[in-house]
Amino acid sequence: MNLTQDELWNQIANLGWDVRHDNIVIEIGGTVVSGIVQPEGYNKKWASPLGHRKYNKDAFIVLKNLSRNDDTKSQPMDREHVPHHLKNAKPEPTV
């Protein structure tokens, strides 16, 4: 499939996003950032300087609508947490 700008706008409309009022961000996945300080005279063919970003061949673009991100599902339980696998467990002996 060849992506066209019209197809992109159609997909955004299918999702029901409001591009004028929603907080939509673009992120890139499939990248690596070097976290190693290289010594002087390092081999630049095999090592990257600290903070250098490389994009993988299969890197991808992610569109996120932060206005419609529902964080309410991660709420503490309204009851005591009693896992089923611990109901018949014997207490561990204390030393």
pLDDT, residue 75, reads 75
The residue ranges of every structural domain in the chain are 24-68
Residue 58 confidence (pLDDT) above 90: yes
Q: CA 40 from chain center: how many Å?
A: 34
pLDDT at residue 94, as a whole number: 77
Q: How confident is the model at residue 44 (pLDDT cuts 50, 70, 90)?
A: confident
- What is the CA 72 to chain-centroid distance, rounded? 18
Gap between the Cα atoms of 45 and 38, Å rounded: 13
State the amino acid at position 94 in one-letter form: T
What pLDDT score was predicted for residue 1?
Answer: 61
Buried/exposed code over 1-26 (b: 16+ C-beta within 10 A; e: otherwise)? eeeeeeeeeeebeeeebeeeeeeeee
Q: 7-20, pLDDT tens digit by residue?
A: 999 999 999 999 99
Given a cut of 70, is residue 45 above it in pLDDT? yes
